[in-house]
């Protein structure tokens, strides 16, 4: 199974720039690269911070940009998103509880997508309702492999400014993972860095944004960097997960 993970699009209103460049152009370039090289992927996951400030026009532009894709998309929310304006454009993306959380069954296992957005919080949260939903999803997987996606990572990457605004309920998430024992990989966004490792024994990966990146520095300072953007190509088999970090060419950085 081939999945693609795009993250942290940070789309402003069309025509506006962010850090001197146009995030909508970066998205179009990412999608063109996908159409050229990965049209056979079974799913495109967009792991949050779809919009930079939750503007309805940003979500409308996203809806238009994704319309011609050959594969389905899974839309997730990050701290820069606004659930209400998102839902006005993508009403089908919210579940009965009103969260952009979802489950997809595949031959290789269960894909579970969390909604860690808490209004006006930079860090991520899983409230009791969302934790209860996750628990029921893990239970219905009945021990089969689970691949978990969240915008906010529960793990630390050693960059203090980012580690301070990850998932607040990391211990509660870990308790559920431990109780069920079937979470094979955690996929995150939010950090705007290509990072892989393990967290309390669970493998993880996080990806670059499609627009701007976080400069790699292990100090109490966050610096935005216009490094080449990228996305992840995720290959999942019966006994294997491989995550390829792929930089795509852009007009700004051919």
Question: With CB under 5 A as the contact rule, which of the stretches 1-9, 106-114, 214-222, 225-233 interacts with Fe ion?
Answer: 1-9
Count of residues touching Fe ion (by CB under 5 A): 2
Q: Are 3 and 234 in contact (CB under 8 A)?
A: yes
Q: Are 223 and 215 in contact (CB under 8 A)?
A: yes
Task: Rank residues 71 and 161 by Cβ distance to Fe ion and give the closer one.
Answer: 161
Interaction with Fe ion in 48-67: which residues (CB under 5 A)? 49
Question: With CB under 5 A as the contact rule, which of the stretches 3-11, 129-137, 147-155, 235-243 interacts with Fe ion?
Answer: 3-11
Least separation, in Å, of the C-beta of 144 and Fe ion? 31
Interaction with Fe ion in 66-85: which residues (CB under 5 A)? none
Task: Rank residues 2 and 13 by Cβ distance to Fe ion and give the closer one.
Answer: 13
Structure tokens at 49: 């911070």
Nearest to 130 by CA among 157, 79, 94, 86: 94
Task: Rank residues 214 and 241 by Cβ distance to Fe ion and give the closer one.
Answer: 214
Task: Rank residues 83 and 184 by Cβ distance to Fe ion and give the closer one.
Answer: 83
Nearest to 76 by CA among 180, 133, 171, 5: 5
| Stretch 30-49: interaction string toward Fe ion, x if CB under 5 A | -------------------x
Least separation, in Å, of the C-beta of 191 and Fe ion? 8
Measured CA to CA, the distance from residue 54 to residue 225 in angstroms comes to 22
Helical axes 170-180 vs 128-140, angle rounded to 10° = 20
Tell the burial category of 16 from Cβ atoms under 10 Å away from its Cβ (0-12, 13-18, 19+): middle
Task: Rank residues 45 and 236 by Cβ distance to Fe ion and give the closer one.
Answer: 45
Q: What is the dihedral of CA 185, 78, 231, 199, to 10 degrees?
A: -30
Question: With CB under 5 A as the contact rule, which of the stretches 7-15, 20-28, 196-204, 228-236 interacts with Fe ion?
Answer: 7-15
Structure tokens at 185: 């990989």
Verify binding: residue 169, Fe ion, rule CB under 5 A.
no
Structure tokens at 10: 């940070």
Task: Rank residues 137 and 205 by Cβ distance to Fe ion and give the closer one.
Answer: 205
Among 3, 4, 5, 8, binds Fe ion (CB under 5 A): 8
Q: Which residues bind Fe ion (CB under 5 A)?
A: 8, 49
């Amino acid at each position: 199974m081939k999945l693609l993970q795009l993250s942290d699009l940070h789309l402003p209103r069309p025509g506006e720039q962010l850090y001197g460049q146009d995030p909508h152009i970066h998205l179009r370039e990412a999608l063109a690269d996908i159409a050229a090289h990965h049209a056979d992927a079974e799913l495109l996951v967009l792991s949050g911070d779809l919009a930079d400030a939750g503007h309805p026009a940003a979500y409308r532009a996203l809806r238009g940009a994704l319309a011609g894709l050959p594969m389905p998309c899974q839309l997730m929310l990050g701290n820069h998103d606004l659930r209400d304006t998102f839902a006005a454009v993508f009403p089908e993306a919210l579940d009965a509880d009103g969260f952009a959380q979802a489950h997809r069954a595949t031959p290789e296992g269960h894909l579970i997508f969390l909604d860690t957005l808490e209004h006006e919080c930079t860090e991520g949260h899983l409230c009791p309702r969302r934790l209860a939903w996750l628990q029921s999803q893990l239970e219905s997987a009945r021990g089969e492999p689970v691949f978990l996606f969240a915008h906010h990572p529960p793990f630390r990457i050693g960059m203090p400014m980012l580690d301070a605004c990850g998932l607040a309920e990391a211990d509660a998430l870990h308790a559920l993972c431990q109780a069920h024992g079937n979470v094979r990989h955690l996929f995150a966004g939010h950090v705007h860095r290509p990072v892989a490792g393990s967290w309390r024994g669970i493998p993880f990966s996080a990806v670059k944004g499609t627009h701007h990146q976080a400069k790699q520095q292990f100090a109490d300072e966050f610096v935005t960097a216009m490094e080449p953007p990228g996305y992840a190509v995720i290959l999942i088999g019966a006994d294997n997960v491989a995550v390829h970090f792929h930089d795509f060419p852009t007009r700004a950085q051919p």
